[in-house]
């Protein structure tokens, strides 16, 4: 492939040509194109009748050519993202037979979700590719875990299928609505749009607690299929401590009946339920935003047609 010139918003402007609509479009003259060997670097946002073209909207062919000239794929944060995919995939492969190893691999992948973002910001290497890689990894990992739970808990299979659908649809709708309104990140949510989503996305601690507790609850349901011993059986000294501390007899009874996965699932269930509420809010708000954009564009089109008839 012929070498292409690197370009960015901070680099020397490319040669330009004026389009039929009167807008100036940058051209990459070093790669072959369908029309005279020129590939437009910039293009108007398709379908955006109500918004002018933004300078960061690039032609797909131009972006594909640039992808081989820079090392975004090899950013340390993205390398961590690839490691997350490998660990998550390995944990899912051994999920039916090695619960302990699966637990280590799965939660290592989850913890690295925090690390890659920190590394990207520290090195000033945040990227759209890295953000989408993160989201896709999260969605696919959770979906695969829920698929396993749908098989393990057959009476609840429909519920798990619904949760998979809600997770995918709410995040896809939210991402698309962010792009439709020109947002630079799906995490950029203002309080006037949704106070719930603003509190969720704009506080890193809150975001981590909800996401981690959500994964922990589902994973405890998985471990519950393998962990048959109660807490008292695993740690007998806890019963002695309960007696010495004068705790109610009901505490010892619970320790004798409940396993560790069941206890942790009980603690994280309210947060997991809250995460599903957030997904519903996210889906609804994204739907309203997209409908609003549709209405604005239809109104602009009617006004444009009315002016053309005059």
The C-alpha atoms of residue 178 and residue 128 are separated, in whole angstroms, by 13
Of the candidates 138, 167, 192, 244, the residue annotated as catalytic is 138
Give the DSSP H/E element, type plus range, for residue 309: helix 260-309
Mean pLDDT of 54-79: 76
Mean pLDDT of 1-9: 42
| Structure confidence at residue 50 (pLDDT) | 44
| Structure confidence at residue 310 (pLDDT) | 82
Identify the weakest region by mean pLDDT among 7-21, 57-71, 110-124: 7-21
Mean pLDDT of the chain: 83
Identify the weakest region by mean pLDDT among 118-127, 142-151, 244-253: 244-253
Q: Report which of residues 234 and 66 the model is more confident about.
A: 234
57: confidence class by pLDDT, cuts 50, 70, 90 = low
Residue 207, pLDDT > 60, answer yes
- 138 catalytic, yes or no? yes
CA distances from 127 to 81, 110, 117, 119, 134 (A): 12, 20, 10, 12, 11
Residue 146, pLDDT > 50, answer yes
Mean pLDDT of 284-289: 96
How many helical (H) and strand (E) elements, i.e. helices and strands, does the chain have? Answer: 11, 3
Which residues in the chain are classed under CATH 1.20.120? 72-224+259-281
Q: Taking every pair of C-alpha atoms in the chain, what is the biggest distance, in angstroms?
A: 91
Q: What is the value of pTM for the model shown? A: 0.78
Give domain 72-224+259-281's CATH architecture.
Up-down Bundle (1.20)
| Structure confidence at residue 4 (pLDDT) | 42
pLDDT tens-digit map of 263-284: 999 999 999 999 999 999 999 9
182-185 contacts at long range (C-beta below 8 A, 24 or more positions apart): 182/51, 182/54, 185/131
- φ/ψ of residue 37, rounded to 5: 75, 10
Residue 31, pLDDT > 50, answer no
- The winner for highest mean pLDDT among 2-11, 39-48, 96-105 is 96-105
The C-alpha atoms of residue 79 and residue 129 are separated, in whole angstroms, by 12
12: confidence class by pLDDT, cuts 50, 70, 90 = very low
Provide the Cα torsion 188, 194, 195, 197; round to 10°.
Answer: -50
CA dihedral over 95, 96, 100, 103, signed as positive or negative = positive
Residue 21, pLDDT > 50, answer no
The C-alpha atoms of residue 209 and residue 273 are separated, in whole angstroms, by 13
Mean pLDDT of 126-146: 94
25: confidence class by pLDDT, cuts 50, 70, 90 = very low
Per-residue HEC secondary structure of 166-229 comes to HHHHHHHHHHHHHHHCCCCCCCCCCCCCCHHHHHHHCCHHHHHHHHHHHHHHHHHHHHCCCCCC
């Amino acid at each position: 492939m012929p070498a292409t010139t690197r370009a960015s918003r901070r680099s020397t402007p490319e040669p330009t040509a004026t389009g039929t609509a009167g807008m100036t479009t940058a051209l990459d003259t070093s790669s072959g194109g369908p029309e005279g060997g020129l590939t437009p670097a910039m293009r108007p946002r398709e379908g955006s009748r109500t918004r002018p073209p933004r300078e960061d909207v690039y032609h797909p062919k131009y972006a594909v050519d640039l992808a081989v000239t820079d090392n975004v794929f090899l950013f340390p944060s993205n390398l961590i993202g690839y490691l997350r995919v490998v660990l998550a995939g390995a944990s899912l492969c051994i999920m039916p037979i090695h619960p302990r190893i699966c637990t280590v691999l799965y939660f290592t992948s989850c913890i690295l979700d925090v690390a890659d973002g920190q590394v990207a910001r520290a090195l000033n290497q945040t990227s759209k590719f890295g953000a989408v890689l993160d989201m896709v990894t999260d969605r696919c990992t959770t979906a695969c875990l829920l698929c396993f739970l749908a098989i393990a808990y057959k009476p609840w299979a429909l519920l798990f299928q619904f949760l998979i659908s809600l997770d995918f649809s709410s995040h896809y709708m939210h991402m698309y609505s962010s792009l439709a309104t020109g947002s630079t990140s799906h995490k950029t949510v203002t309080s006037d749009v949704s106070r719930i989503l603003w509190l969720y996305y704009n506080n890193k601690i809150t975001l981590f607690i909800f996401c981690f507790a959500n994964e922990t609850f589902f994973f405890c349901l998985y471990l519950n299929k393998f962990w048959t011993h109660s807490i008292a059986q695993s740690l007998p000294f806890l019963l002695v401590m309960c007696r010495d501390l004068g705790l109610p007899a009901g505490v010892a009874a619970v320790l004798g009946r409940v396993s560790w996965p069941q206890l942790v699932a009980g603690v994280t269930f309210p947060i997991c339920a809250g995460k599903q509420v957030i997904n519903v809010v996210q889906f609804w708000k994204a739907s309203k935003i997209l409908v609003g954009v549709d209405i604005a564009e239809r109104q602009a089109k009617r006004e444009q047609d009315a002016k053309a008839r005059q």
